[in-house]
């Protein structure tokens, strides 16, 4: 509890946010179930900054490096190498901050959130310049950043959906640049969980065609169907929340002072 008010954790599950958490856990379950298709695991902080470096130290190192890169970019804003380095550095800072929070027994905190947002903002600036030549490998990291933001939305259910859809948009850059059953199955998963059913079904079929074995093709189909079902459930929850919020708004309009009595 902070002085002068309540400090709200990013993973607060009160009120409508419990529905966001339900979506988040569904995403995580699907991702774990589709681990066959996810080829980029957690960033090994120790390998990047030295095995003896703690997560707290790593966060500081990444922040300092990001500041240097941003200083260089102010002088050379079109330097693609600097842009990509900044995106990866911000992503590394977010992972380091999340690891530190986890080691302390806490969910990802404000710093991790801010670093993830900085990652996506840096990508947006880079993508505007790079266009169709944007780096597929970096796009995959940014798609993960959007999924992490979906896991810890600060603005509720709709924000979680928007983050998932942004993850799908950026994942497409990776999938088209590195076409495989893995990359397109992950794209289909993001699309379907986010409610983009027509696009997800089409992407899922493409992932099946790219499968290199019968068993992989069956696994793709199974994961796509699971994602489709979860996407339907997510939209159902979303509509229920929107209906409840409209009802509350109507009640407040009919009795605008009702909320002031504490009743």
- If DSSP codes are grouped into helix, strand and coil, which group holds residue 67? helix
Opening angle at CA 121, ends 84 and 191, nearest 5: 95
pLDDT, tens digit, 9 for 90 and up, residues 98-130: 888 888 888 778 899 999 999 999 999 999 999
Residue of 109, 101, 5, 117 whose CA lies nearest to 58 = 101
The HSE-up count of residue 242 (CA atoms within 13 Å, CB side) is 8
Taking the CA atoms of residue 89, residue 92, residue 96 and residue 97 in that order, the dihedral angle to the nearest 10 degrees is: 70
Q: How far apart are CA 189 and CA 181, in angstroms?
A: 12
pLDDT exceeds 80 at position 181: yes
- If DSSP codes are grouped into helix, strand and coil, which group holds residue 85? helix
Opening angle at CA 204, ends 200 and 207, nearest 5: 140
Taking the CA atoms of residue 106, residue 110, residue 113 and residue 119 in that order, the dihedral angle to the nearest 10 degrees is: -130
The HSE-up count of residue 191 (CA atoms within 13 Å, CB side) is 23
**119 neighbors 145 (Cβ within 8 angstroms):** yes
Indicate the pTM of the whole model: 0.75
Q: Structural domain boundaries of the chain?
A: 17-37+53-244
Q: What pLDDT, on the 0 to 100 scale, is given for residue 12?
A: 37
Q: How far apart are CA 156 and CA 8, in angstroms?
A: 13
Taking the CA atoms of residue 97, residue 103, residue 108 and residue 110 in that order, the dihedral angle to the nearest 10 degrees is: -50
Per-residue pLDDT band at 239 (split at 50, 70, 90): confident
pLDDT exceeds 70 at position 254: no
Q: How far apart are CA 185 and CA 37, in angstroms?
A: 7
- Position with higher pLDDT, 30 vs 44: 30
pLDDT, tens digit, 9 for 90 and up, residues 182-221: 999 999 999 998 889 999 999 999 999 999 999 999 999 9
Q: Compute the residue count for the chain.
A: 263
Domain 17-37+53-244 architecture = Alpha Horseshoe (1.25)
């Amino acid at each position: 509890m902070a002085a002068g008010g309540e400090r709200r954790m990013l993973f607060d599950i009160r009120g409508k946010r419990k529905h966001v958490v339900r979506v988040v856990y569904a995403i995580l379950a699907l991702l774990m179930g589709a681990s066959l298709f996810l080829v980029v695991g957690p960033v090994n902080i120790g390998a990047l900054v030295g095995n003896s470096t703690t997560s707290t130290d790593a966060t500081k190192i990444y922040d300092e490096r990001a500041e240097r890169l941003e200083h260089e970019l102010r002088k050379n804003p079109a330097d693609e190498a600097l842009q990509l380095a900044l995106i990866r550095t911000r992503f590394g800072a977010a992972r380091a901050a999340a690891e530190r929070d986890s080691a302390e027994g806490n969910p990802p905190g404000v710093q991790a959130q801010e670093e993830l947002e900085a990652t996506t903002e840096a990508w947006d600036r880079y993508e505007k310049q790079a266009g169709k030549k944007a780096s597929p490998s970096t796009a995959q990291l940014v798609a993960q950043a959007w999924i992490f933001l979906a896991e810890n939305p600060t603005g509720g259910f709709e924000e979680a959906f928007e983050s998932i859809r942004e993850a799908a948009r950026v994942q497409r850059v990776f999938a088209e640049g590195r076409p495989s059953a893995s990359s397109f199955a992950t794209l289909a998963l993001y699309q379907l969980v986010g409610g983009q059913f027509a696009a997800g079904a089409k992407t899922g079929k493409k992932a099946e065609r790219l499968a290199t074995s019968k068993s992989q093709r069956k696994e793709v189909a199974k994961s796509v169907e699971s994602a489709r079902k979860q996407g339907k459930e997510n939209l159902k929850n979303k509509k229920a929340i929107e209906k409840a919020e409209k009802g509350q708004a109507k009640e407040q309009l009919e009795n605008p002072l009702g909320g002031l009595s504490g009743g």
